[in-house]
Amino acid sequence: MGSQPEADGLPSEEDLKLYGLQQKYTEEAAKRFRPDGIDQFVELKDAELERFRTLGEDPWADHAALNAKQTVKDGARYKFLVLGAGYGGLLFAVHLIEAGVASGPDDIRIVDTAGGFGGTWYWNRYPGLHCDVESYTYMPLLEETGYMPKSKYAPGHELREHADRIATKWGLHDKAVFRASVKKTAWNESAKLWDVEIEQGRGPGQEPADLRVQTQYVLIASGVLSSPQVPKIPGLETFAGPLFHTARWDYSVSGGKPEDLSLTGLQGKRVGFLGTGATAIQAVPHLARWAKEVYVFQRTPSSVTWRGQRPTDPQEWETKIASKKGWQMERMLNFNAYLTNSPRQGEENMVGDGWTEIPAYCALLGCPDWDIVEPTPEKIGAHVARLYKLDVAATEAKRARVDQIVKDAETAGKMKAWYPTWCKRPTFSDEYLQTFNLPHVHLVDTDGKGVSSATERGLVVAGKEYPLDILILGTGYRTPAVGNGSPARRTGIQVYGRGGNSLDDKWQNHGAATLHGVCSNGFPNLFFMGSTQTASAANFVLALEVHTRHVAHMIAEAERKVAGRNDGSRAVVEVTSEAEEAWTVEIMRRAAWFASVMGCTPGYITSEGQRTQVPQDPMEMMKASRAGAWSQGMENFIGLLEEWKKDGSLKGLEITPVA
Ligand code: FAD
Ligand code: NDP
């Protein structure tokens, strides 16, 4: 596995250990591969069964207050339409305002299916919800808003309130259109504007209203984990007790509320929790405090390391953390350096948490100091071996931690994660593993097979029925890689560009094509964010910051050029096909970096194992490599964008003035 062989030519002891580990990982992954891949799930919003479809409805909207407000006019024209009112949509709006291109009252409209701001933090309100990266780096615009998070990892309600704080500071409340889903957007060639179709809900039992607006720019900030899904478990719909998904927590069943986690509704009840991902790790300890019995159904264990939650010390905040201008980006990049295996020598580890102990996460995020991996079997093999080697200490420490905490040896054995760090979102908790020492908390491990069926009484695993009073689905979200990563498919909308061509068709037939991951030829004045053809970050807000600033810069510069004509023209901004192909080639050159996911256990990162199967058809193989990412990490990508900006010519973008 890449280290020096012994003098006799035999593999070293370290190599043999790594071979053994890799073999164990492969065996465990093999248990979990399913031919149906992502089709083992149905998105709640698309479920045929009403019981599941209604689980996706908004439990939080204040319909009366929203019905009393009219923030969008049917037939109106706006300059910017931002799709999504999460941190991404807010950052788009803020940076457009700050860049001076959105100023008048009719310049921006933000449209969201949700009933308020927050995106992820609007929808998710389950007990225990916190950001998993440090709030000082995760909560956007802390410098600009002057807000000090109350603790190192902020709870969900504080994260949602922060979205409202941003909206208030930049005057966005009257610009938001809630309970409104964008259905379709089409480029109107004669008007040189986007025609947008929106369906706005009015509350239970009321007919939705259809709205049509025109807009110069469309900016898609629809998130990556925003469509909750349910597994197609035979009989699940027959379960007689209350059933809900963690993304729409039902406090009328559990009792309590997000700010007061007295889950009195669980008292005396047998509660089943399906799933052991990042959501389970946060929610299960709270269930255990109130329920009579808790059954946690596990297909694959999460890797769980220490958290170290603590209140923010106001003195440390003032004198150290937030003491100078530009501190938040500096802290974000300092954190990012640990995750891309590139901390600078002698520099302080500012965040200093469990995340910063997993350098092999660079398998997903890239690394600035490692070369581009040539796509030969030898080079790929050496690269993957190097990553496994980098990962082994962290994964072994996590498995040892399970033995230290979980008292029952058999349960401990089942809770160890046998896959490399980069295959699933790592988790952090000082409570989750400890919960399984309680006599009323039961791990129902399915040895990678999943729950076999459900009855009106409960769930069935390997022929044994587990009777339950309440069943909670912590079964995650549709993978963002759906449709080759097409922003339209991910958002559940139809996008038609020049000549009526569909964005989904373009990406399905030819593969992804963008400049810097934010715009595509044939779709003028349309910008989006995602993880395709761009750099990712473990702190998602770093990626949102970088992308929204970049797009605001592109638009501001294009507008500036057109304004110079002094004839009242509007700008039409479009990446040329040559420029997007050149960028795509850069991405393809880097595709081999991500070969290490081939050894992953299934999950949303690999589209439930589909991305780990090498396509046999050369065309499909090429499409897969076009949907790759930047292999040298976010900081390196920022450097590249800075160079692009410095050049000043908006290289690759065509700016056309229109009257
Ligand atoms: P979102 O917050 O997902 O917002 C997108 C919005 O677009 C949603 O409100 C959705 O309703 C709306 N939308 C989508 N389609 C349409 C449409 N057709 N019409 C109208 N509206 C539409 N990342 C981290 O870095 N750290 C964390 O700790 C972390 N925790 C997370 C916890 C959970 C439970 C989940 C699910 C994700 C978490 N993430 C975390 C990832 C998280 O999604 C991002 O950090 C970030 O919040 C994404 O912001 P966004 O605005 O891009 O997307
Ligand atoms: P995940 O997709 O991570 O987990 C879903 C769980 O459901 C998995 O354990 C999966 O098992 C299990 N599952 C699915 N189908 C079955 C079945 N038929 N039988 C048994 N088990 C089944 O979803 P989460 O909501 O936990 O997390 C999604 C992402 O959201 C995270 O990765 C993270 O990025 C983000 N997040 C972040 C949080 C934070 O800490 N701030 C908290 C929550 C989420 P298997 O693994 O085998 O597929």
The confidence score (pLDDT) of residue 68 equals 94
pLDDT at 384 over 60: yes
Q: Would you say the C-alpha torsion 558, 560, 562, 568 has a positive or negative sign?
A: positive
- Is ipTM > 0.95 here? yes
Residue nearest to atom 10 of ligand 2 (CA): 275
**For 609-647, how does the pLDDT look when each residue is reduced to its tens digit (9 = 90+)?**
887 877 778 888 888 899 999 999 999 999 999 999 999
Determine the atom of ligand 2 nearest the C-alpha atom of 32: 47
Identify the DSSP state of 141: T
pLDDT band for 2, please (50, 70, 90 cuts): very low
pLDDT at 480 over 90: no
**For 141-168, how does the pLDDT look when each residue is reduced to its tens digit (9 = 90+)?**
999 999 999 999 999 999 999 999 999 9
**For 39-48, how does the pLDDT look when each residue is reduced to its tens digit (9 = 90+)?**
999 999 999 9
529 token code pair: 């964010």
**CB contact at 8 A, 215 and 78:** yes
The confidence score (pLDDT) of residue 1 equals 45
Ligand 1 pocket member 282 (CB < 6 A):
no
**For 558-579, how does the pLDDT look when each residue is reduced to its tens digit (9 = 90+)?**
999 999 888 889 999 999 999 9
The confidence score (pLDDT) of residue 447 equals 97
Ligand 1 pocket member 475 (CB < 6 A):
no
pLDDT band for 4, please (50, 70, 90 cuts): low
Determine the atom of ligand 1 nearest the C-alpha atom of 122: 9
The confidence score (pLDDT) of residue 8 equals 72
Residue nearest to atom 3 of ligand 2 (CA): 277
245 Cα: distance to centroid of ligand 2 (angstroms):
11
Residue nearest to atom 4 of ligand 2 (CA): 277
The confidence score (pLDDT) of residue 228 equals 97
**Residue 241: CA count within 13 A, CB half-sphere:** 20
Q: Give the ligand whose atoms come closest to the C-alpha of residue 120.
A: 1
Identify the DSSP state of 517: T
223 Cα: distance to centroid of ligand 1 (angstroms):
4
The confidence score (pLDDT) of residue 565 equals 86
422 Cα: distance to centroid of ligand 2 (angstroms):
14
300 Cα: distance to centroid of ligand 2 (angstroms):
9
Q: What's the burial of 369, exposed, middle or buried (CB within 10 Å: 0-12/13-18/19+)?
A: exposed
Closest CA to 557 of 538, 573, 568, 577: 573
477 Cα: distance to centroid of ligand 2 (angstroms):
8
Span 382-386, average pLDDT = 95
What is the distance between the alpha carbons of residues 522 and 495, in angstroms, rounded to a whole number?
11
638 contacts: CB under 8 Å, gap ≥ 6? 535, 546
**For 209-225, how does the pLDDT look when each residue is reduced to its tens digit (9 = 90+)?**
999 999 999 999 999 99
373 Cα: distance to centroid of ligand 1 (angstroms):
32
The mean pLDDT of the chain is 95
Closest CA to 102 of 578, 585, 559, 602: 559
What is the distance between the alpha carbons of residues 140 and 136, in angstroms, rounded to a whole number?
9
pLDDT band for 5, please (50, 70, 90 cuts): low
Closest CA to 45 of 114, 117, 125, 126: 114
Percent of the chain topping pLDDT 90: 89
**Ligand 1: which of 58, 353, 504, 540 to mutate, most ligand atoms within 8 Å of CB?**
540
Span 84-95, average pLDDT = 98
The confidence score (pLDDT) of residue 14 equals 86
pLDDT at 206 over 90: yes
